[in-house]
Structure 1
Amino acid sequence: MNRKTIRKTAFQFLLLVGSGLITSALVMKTASKPVKKTKMSYAVSADEDQWVEAELAKLSLEDRIAQSFMVACWSNKGKGHLAETETLVREQKIGGLIFFQGEKENLQEAIQQMQSAAKIPLLIGMDAEWGVAMRLSGEPRFPYQQAIGAANDLKLTEKIGYHMGVECNMLGIHMNFSPVADVNLNPKNPVIGFRSFGSDPKTVAGQTAAMVRGIEDAGVISCVKHFPGHGDTDKDSHLELPTVSHSISEFESKDFLPFKSAIEAGTRSVMVAHLNVPALDPSGTPSSLSKLVIETYLRKKLGFKGLVISDALNMKAVSEKYGKSEVAAKAYDAGCDILLFPENVKDAVELIKTKVEKGSLSKDEVNEHCRRVLHAKYQVIIHKPMVKRNDPAPERKLIINQTYEKALVCLKNDQENLPIDRLDKKIIRIGIGTHTSAFRDRLNDYAKITHYKYYTPEEAVKHLREIKLNPDAVYILDFHSDAQRARNNYGFSSWKKVLDLLPENAYASVILFGNPLVLQTETEFPKAVKSILCAYENTAAAQERTAQAVMGAFDITGKLAIEINNQWKEGFGMQLKGNGRLKYSQPEELGLNPAKLQEVDDIVAKAIEAKAFPGCQIVVAIDGKIILQKAYGKTMYENGDSITNEHIYDIASITKIASSITALMRLKTLNKFDVNMKLGELTPEYVEGTEYADLKAIDLLTHQAGLTPWIAFYKRTMKDGNLDPEIYSGKDNGIYKRAVADNIWIRDDYWKTMLKIIVETPLSGKKSYEYSDLSYYFFNKFIERVSGMGQNEFVDKEIYQPLGLQTMTYLPLEKFDRKRIVPTEVDKDFRKQLIHGYVHDPGAAMMGGVAGHAGLFSNATDLAALMQFLLNKGQIGDQSVIKKEVVDQFTACQFCPGNRRGIGFDKPTVDLKNGPTCDLVSPSTFGHSGFTGTITWADPENKVNFVFLSNRVYPDADNWKITKMSVRTEIQRVIYEALFEARRK
């Protein structure tokens, strides 16, 4: 290979690096050499200076001037446009390109095409204020600066800047024309508005500096704009020249503050706006063309030594007054190092060259402009820094969610209307606008809600007038706008007319997904409107977070970063406390390593492969935040449906704590039950005159009352291996009306015989631990007697409905399609069919499916919600459904060390070894397991809530691989190891 070929190959390599098509990891670092300060605001190495001076020496005067030209390019405009642009790169030797609309794929192709045509690598820029999604279709975007400013979390802002920089870096974009540093002092500003961090200069300054640090740390040049400050204007500089009438002191105390902070934070470029600023330049020259503004104030007053960039030179604020060539020459002469969006490169370069030749512009100024551009190219292309490029998606998702959480602001909350605590009320949601489904779907995860959806307020008014709205319902009215500017009332149209249709005495919450400035002239609302939330943007993430806040999953702490009107000023925001409901989150929020949690997938995969169970659901919440909610496998090994989080499992003996014990705790809260009561007091009609009458509830519920472990009731109802026709029927009628399975009904009064069989079974006489189901047959009857309703009705009314549980139920076939219910055993001995939708436990089935020890069905998410309710000590917000001291009493070990049990609840072994949990849990942990392959544990000390549901009994209940493989305890171990690892960091 000859020397020329080597040089060509090396240069092509640098072009690929510059375009982002070869990662920086492949670029060898330059040897460390002494560093010196230049006129730039950052330190440079001797190597950098050497490269810049060498390249400068190769360039003609025209080429040096051309390095300042950054021409507009659209990667989606087709081959003709790209060919024209390539000609400019090749023949005019321009220094850079700013890319506009396109897609990721054609952008990278276009960058590679242009870089290949360049003698010196091109500096590639993009307006990516909310990420590359601002210009590239199909890409996810970050929140607007208005929402980021409202969140006002500098660490979050810096992370957002970093991720914006990373995505630019990976696409070969070297410069992001972001952040907007303008203080939004004028609510009527038509061009800044939602693009600003807010109306308080100090807040904007802090946010701007944080964003700069993030972008620059990603190896991308940040560009703060629009100096000297575009915030207090009421005209759009794209259309005409706005005037900012601030005094010099106002500029210094307000407008300059964010730019000063950005310069101190290390921004490498500043964009100068097209503004008339009489206090700074009385001549009326636009600031972008004013040497006075750039040299006196930006360079000298603020000490900026980096790249000065003109705002787009095609904007009418300057383009209509000055010719296409003249405007570029004036900006260059005024001190702009990069001329953005010039419209006539060849003539402009020639005009600038003529000025140099005539002496009105010095060669030193040309060289200084060119040096600054070349220094920038060295730093982001030739000596591109290493940037960590792990999968950014999880952290990106987290910071976006956290931004919307913190930005959410409550402007009104009369009578503590929000969050919605008890969910056993009729809830009606009226959604108006487009792209509303994320809000609806997350609300549905918490409660059963009636939804009305309309695309416009006019459509809503028309149809709602025909509906008789329930005056006793709770209303949620969510208005969605994808617009952010003042046109058409910020995209909300005549939204307030909908509110007039609400019943006067209703309790309604209004939620605005869009620009809160829509409320500028609104201070009066109908009586029914008790709450107003501003969510800033109509994105799926904003909707999903807001739905959680409405339901109380986290506190609302946001404050306005702008002034809406005299009622709602900058800094206003009501603080709303969450009510303890589970929050849908992700491991990263708690600092957990997602890679560690992937071990759960491996454990489950091996178990399914070994046929320990066909499928399962897992939910893990830590500190009230769901960090794992997954479904695995199928409903059956053969021809089964894929398990989803919506499938419902028979949770078997977890019924004891999820139904019976929860009901008894509720009754104790109502002073209708005490653990020291004897069975003769609870159910005298069944035990009077027997040794069972003297058994205390606490002994029964801790399994130390001497009851036999289990009675096979069904065997007493069989004749010659078949069901006794005197006890069972193939038809549902007045005598046989308790369903046992498909086409099998048992006598309605046979349960009395079952209770009689129990009391006729002698007690062991030992007060030692021996697990038994039998006492729950009596507690079932006690709950019925004292509540005046079936146990299923009582727990639904008193517990499940207030909590919004939608799948936890007895008798699931009465509420759900059979396909949603996971089948259990192929019963070969008793019912002789696949048990699907009926309780697996034979005794509970003979009770008609509603028993104290079994019969409950649920998905993992509802069970986790119930366990979180117990971790929250029986509270829903400020409401005590179960008294805290009652929860503490029942979940504590009663007779340790000899008997580990709580009151109804299972507990870890005293030494945490060889028990039902892994050995990493705290002793305060409580829960239960179920015969069908289910388990749930709640750890108050570590705040861990773990639910595992499976149908390990399919097709055969003798399959104990789930236990032999320690599947559930090993998954629990992984969770705790991940948690403790995060806590050690």
Structure 2
Amino acid sequence: MNKKTFRKASFILILVIGSGLITSALLKTPAHKPLKKQSKSLTTDKDEDQWISAELAKLSTKERIAQSFMVACWSNKGKEHLAETEMLVREQKIGGLIFFQGERDNLQEAIQQMQSSAALPLLIGMDAEWGVAMRLSGEPRFPYQQTIGAANDLELIEKIGYHMGVECDMLGIHMNFSPVADVNLNPQNPVIGFRAFGSNPQQVARQTAAMVKGIENAGVISCVKHFPGHGDTDKDSHKELPSVSHSVNEFESKDFLPFKSGIEAGTRSVMVAHLNVPSLDPSGTPSSLSKVVIETYLRKKLGFKGLVISDALNMKAVSEKYGKSEVVAKAYLAGCDILLFPENVSDAINLIYSKVESGELSKETVNEHCKRILKAKYEAIVHKPMIKRRDPAPERKLIINQTYEKALLCIKNEEDHLPVDRVDKPIIRIAVGTHTSAFRDRLNDYAKITHYKYFTAEEAVKRLKTIKLDPNAEYILDFHSDAQRARNNYGFGPWKQVLDLLPEQAKATLVLFGNPLTLQNETEFPKTVKSVLCGYENTAAAQERTAQAIMGAFDIEGKLATDINTQWKSGFGIQVKNNGRLKYSQPEELGLNPDKLKEVDDIVAKAIEAKAFPGCQIVVAIDGKIVIQKSYGTTIYENGDSITNDHIYDIASITKIASSTTALMRLKTLNKFDEKTDLNELVPEYVKDTPYADLKAIDLLTHQAGLTPWIAFYKRTMENGELNPSIYQKEDKGVYNRAVADNIFIKDDYWKTMLKIIVETPLTGKKSYEYSDLSYYFFNKYIEKTSGMGQNEFVDKEIYQPLGLQTMTYLPLKKFNKKRIVPTEYDKEFRKQLIHGYVHDPGAAMMGGVAGHAGLFSNATDLAALMQFLLNKGQIGDQSIIKKEIVDQFTACQFCPGNRRGIGFDKPTVSIKNGPTCDLVSPSTFGHSGFTGTITWADPENKVNFVFLSNRVYPDADNWKITKMSVRTEIQRVIYEALFEARRKKTDNK
């Protein structure tokens, strides 16, 4: 191998490693706090200077000129185009490529193809203002700068910049032509608009600096553009030359500020726009070709020493006037180090070279341009630090979600219409546009909603006229546009016509997913519209976050970053406080280590492998934010369906708190229950003249009334191992109308016999804690009598519907497909069948499925929502379903230390150890467990909400591996360890 070949091979190896083309094995990066500048490699400035001098000496004058050429390349244009580009690399020895449309795979193939033909490594650039998705199909994108500017969180912006840089680096892109530093002073701007942070120069300056820091800290060259400021134009420089009439003072006090800030933050390049700026250069020379603009203002006034880049030289603002070669030469002579998108490359190089030969251009100037480019290549490629990175996807998801959260704007909220507190009245959603499903799906997680969907406003108007809309419903009207520019009302069409079709009495929330400038000609809305939100973009993340905000999962605090009109100006935004509903989030929002939480997966996997249960659901919320919502395993061991978050479990004795206790708390709130009263006052018809009459409700609910733990009622209804036909029938007919299981119906009044059996059972005489189901048979009847409806109807009307709980229910087969319900035990003794969709507990089944101690079904998410409601002291926003003091009373230990129980609720042991919880919970924790393999705990002190649902009783209730393996307490331990670790780190970082 000769020296030249060896040198070329070495550059290729350095390039491949340095550019991130083989970084899949190195995906380890510390999560940044704020971001720290990545340290340079151990090489010194002297090493850099020596390398630059050595490489410069190897290049001819033409080759030095060619280093300034960054030619356009499309990785999806086919072999012929790539071959032509490769020829320019090989023969003209151009210095770089800017890549446009393509896909991830063909981009990387194209980069490798071009780099293998380059004598010096090519500097690869891309317009990636909202990430590489701006140019590559199939890639997820970051929010637009307009949205980022509205979010106005500098730490968040820095992180976005960092992740954009990481994304570029992993694809072999060294230079991101971002951020846009233009101050968007003209709402009619046809080319900047949504690409800019906003219209406040000082705010844009701070945001530009943050974005620069992020991109540069990822090891990628940032580029602030478009100097001297493209924000106050009404023409598109792709088509014609715009003019900016600002005075020098206006430029310096407004337009220059973000560029100055970006330069101070460390940007390594500045792009110069094609603009006519008479106050800066009276000659009429476009700024990109103006030595005055570049040397006097950018270099001297702002002190910029990095790479000056021309805007694309094929743009009609300059190309049509000066010609394809001459425009390139003029940009070079004006001071541009990188000539972007030159055409007629060979001719342009020769033209510039001729100016060297004629003396119009000095060799020293050529060398200065080339040295700056070699310096950039040295830093970005040749001696770029090796950066170990972890998978960026989780943090990327978080920062995108947080951006849409912070940007979300409320411009109207009449009568405090938002958030939607109670959802126990009809909600109708009318969606107009495309890609609307993320909003629908998240709304459905909070409430039962009727959806109408139309592709255009015209279609909506036509079809809604044929529908009789409920005047008493709550309405949500969401309009979706994937456009950001002014055409067709920013892609929304005649959306206001749809509002006119609402019933006069209706109350509606209007949501616009797209550019808020669609409102620039609006000042008011129909009286039916009580609240208006702007989501800025029609992305799944924007929709999902907006749906959560509407339902009250987090505060709305967005402020406009740009004037819409004289009514809604920069800085305007109405704050909307959350109502305490659970927020769907991720561990990273709370600083939880996702690697630590993977231990939960390991615990569950081992339990399923050991056949402790076929499958399970876990939901964990901390500080009101769901950080785990996972399903594992299958419904049954043999050919079972995979468990999803929508599956419904028999939650067994959790019914005691999720139904009976909350019902009693609600009745106490209504002054219809007093825990100090005795059963003779509550249900005299069943206990009069029995020892049970004097038992106080509080003693029954804390399990210290001396009741026997359990009665096997079903055994008294069997003869010779078979069901007594006088009590049961196989069909639902006559008085045999309460389903116990498939093809088994019990007499509708047999529950009276069960209550009689209870009161005939002697009390134990103990006044100490002994767990018993039996008191809840009486509370069931008290709730029915007091409310005037079945217990299932009462809790549904008073608790579950207002909270939007859609799976928590008794008698699930009346509401859900059987496949959605997880089976429990194969009952060999009583019902002699697989119990599927019917309550597992025999006594509750004999009550017809609606009992005080068992019978409730739910998924983990609904149970977590109920527990969060209790953590929120029984409140939904400003509405009190259960009084705060009643929640505090019932969830507190009543008779510690002898009895750990709250009123209805289980509690940790007084010592915290050797109890139903792990030993890291606080004493204020409350919850309950269920025989079927379920548990829920809420910790007010640590704000932890933990739900675990399983069917450990399948196929045999004698399987207690879940307890022997401490599955639930060990999962709880992992959660608390992760939380405490995050808190320690947060404290250490302060």
Alignment partner, residue 571 of structure 1: 571
Letter of the 2:157 counterpart:
T
Classify the secondary structure of the residue corresponding to 2:206. Answer: helix
Q: Deviations over 1:904-950 (max 9, x none)?
A: 00000000111000000000000000000000000000000000000
Q: Counterpart in 2 of 1:207?
A: 207
Q: Is the contact between residue 619 and residue 861 of structure 1 (CA under 8 Å) also seen in structure 2?
A: yes
2:580 match: 580
1:811 alignment partner in structure 2:
811
Tell me the residue number matched to 1:348.
348
Deviation at 1:356, TM superposition (A): 1.4
Give the equivalent residue in structure 1 for 2:849.
849
Q: What CA deviation, in whole Å up to 9, does each residue of 1:835-856 have, x standing for no partner?
A: 1111010100110000000000
3-state SS of paired residue (2:738): strand
Are residue 865 (structure 1) and residue 852 (structure 2) matched? Answer: no
For the pair 1:229 / 2:232, whether they are aligned, the reply is no
Contact 1:419-1:576 at 8 Å conserved across structures: yes
Q: Is the 8 A contact 2:560 2:572 kept in 1?
A: yes
One-letter amino acid of the structure 2 residue matched with residue 534 of structure 1: C
User: Which residues in structure 2 correspond to 1:637-652 (within 5 Å)?
Assistant: 637-652=637-652
C-alpha displacement of 1:220: 0.5
CA-CA distance at 1:585 after TM superposition: 0.4
Equivalent residue for 1:924?
924
**1:481: which partner in 2?**
481
Cα distance in 1 for partners of 2:901, 2:790 equals: 27
Please tell me whether the aligned partners of residues 180 and 224 of structure 1 are also in contact (alpha carbons under 8 angstroms): yes
Query: CA contact under 8 A between 2:18 and 2:383: conserved in structure 1?
Result: no
Give the drift of 1:408. Answer: 0.1
Change (3 A) 1:111 1:104: same
Give secondary structure in 2 for the equivalent of 1:629. strand
- Check conservation: 2:8, 2:119, Cα contact below 8 A: no
AA partner of residue 546 (structure 2): T
Q: 1-side partners of 2:25 and 2:688: how far apart?
A: 82
Q: 1:333 to 1:418 in 2, by over 3 A?
A: same
Q: How does 1:873-912 map to 2 (within 5 A)?
A: 873-912=873-912
Residues 408 and 535, structure 2, Cα contact 8 Å, conserved in 1: yes
- Does the aligned pair in 1 maintain the 2:678–2:693 contact within 8 Å? yes
Tell me the alpha carbon deviations over residues 269-304 of structure 1, each in whole angstroms, 9 at most, x when there is no partner.
Answer: 000000000110011100000000001100000000
Q: Which amino acid aligns with 2:506?
A: A
Alignment partner of 1:974: what SS?
helix
Partner residue of 2:704? 704
Q: 1:505 deviation in Å?
A: 1.6
The 5 A counterparts of 1:433-448 are: 433-448=433-448
Report if the CA contact (8 A) 1:651-1:857 is conserved: yes
Task: Give the structure 1 partner of residue 395 of structure 2.
Answer: 395
SS in 2 for 1:197: coil
Q: Which residue of 2 aligns with 1:309?
A: 309
CA distance, structure 2, for counterparts of residue 296 and residue 517 of structure 1 = 36
2:827 paired residue number: 827
Shift in Å, 1:2: 6.9
Contact map agreement 1:608 1:615 (CA 8 A) in 2: yes
After superposition, residues 144-293 of structure 1 pair within 5 angstroms as 144-293=144-293
**Equivalent residue number for residue 505 of structure 2:** 505
Shift of 1:317: 0.3
Q: Matched residues in 1 for 2:8 and 2:304: separation?
A: 37
Q: Distance in 1 between matches of 2:899 and 2:709?
A: 16
Matched, 1:375 2:378: no
Deviation of the 1:387 alpha carbon: 2.4
Return closer, same or farther for 1:962/1:981 CA change in 2, 3 Å cut-off.
same
1:319 corresponds to 2:319: yes
Letter in 1 for 2:189: N
In structure 1, C-alpha distance between the alignment counterparts of 2:744 and 2:24, rounded to whole Å = 71
Task: Tell me if structure 2 keeps the 8 A contact 1:408–1:558.
Answer: yes
SS, match of residue 521 in structure 1: coil
Distance in 1 of aligned mates of 2:191 and 2:388: 35
Q: Deviations over 1:714-761 (max 9, x none)?
A: 111111111111111112122111111111111111111111111111
Structure-2 change in CA distance of 1:444 and 1:837 (3 Å):
same
Partner of 1:38: none
> 1:388 offset after TM fit, Å?
3.3
Query: Equivalences for 1:477-876 in 2 at 5 Å?
Result: 477-876=477-876
Cα-Cα RMSD: 1.1
Amino acid at match of 1:623: D
Counterpart in the other structure of 1:39: none
> Structure 1: where are the runs of 5+ without partners?
27-42
CA deviation digits over 1:405-454, x for unaligned, max 9? Answer: 00000000001111100010100000110000000000001110000000
Partner secondary structure for residue 714 of structure 1 = helix
Q: Which residue of 1 aligns with 2:39?
A: none
- The code of the aligned residue for 1:69 comes to F
Partner of 1:124: 124
Q: Which residue of 1 aligns with 2:960?
A: 960
- Distance in 2 (alpha carbons) for counterparts of 1:12 and 1:319: 35
Contact 1:162-1:215 at 8 Å conserved across structures: yes
TM-score by length of 2: 0.97
Q: 1:590 is aligned with what amino acid?
A: L
Which shows bigger deviation, 602-611 or 351-360? 351-360
- Counterpart residue identity of residue 426, structure 1: P
Partners of 1:93 and 1:24 in 2: CA distance: 30
Contact kept in structure 1, 2:422 and 2:802, CA below 8 Å: yes
Of residues 4-13 and 680-689 in structure 1, the stretch that sits farther from structure 2 once superposed is 4-13
Aligned equivalents of 1:198, 1:719: Cα separation in 2: 81
Local SS of the residue matching 2:165: helix
What's 1:17 paired with? Answer: 17
| Offset of residue 11 of structure 1 | 3.2
Q: What residue number does 1:62 align with?
A: 62
Cα distance between partner residues in 2 of 1:24 and 1:877: 46
TM-score, normalised by the number of residues in structure 1: 0.98
- In structure 1, the residue matched to 2:37 is none
1:44 Cα offset (Å): 6.7
For residues 285 and 450 of structure 1, the distance between their equivalents in structure 2, rounded to whole angstroms, comes to: 60
> Structure 2 regions of 5+ residues with no counterpart?
27-42, 986-990
CA spacing shift, 1:397–1:25, aligned 2, 3 Å: closer
Residues in 1 aligned to 2:4 and 2:174: alpha-carbon distance in whole angstroms: 28
Secondary structure of 2:589 counterpart: helix
Q: Which residue of 2 aligns with 1:93?
A: 93
Q: Shift of residue 551 of structure 1?
A: 0.5
Q: Which residue number corresponds to residue 385 of structure 1? A: 385
| TM-superposed deviation, 1:54 | 1.0
8 Å CA contact retained: 2:11, 2:382: no
- The whole-number CA distance in structure 2 between the counterparts of 1:207 and 1:356 is 41
Equivalent position amino acid for 2:425 in 1: K
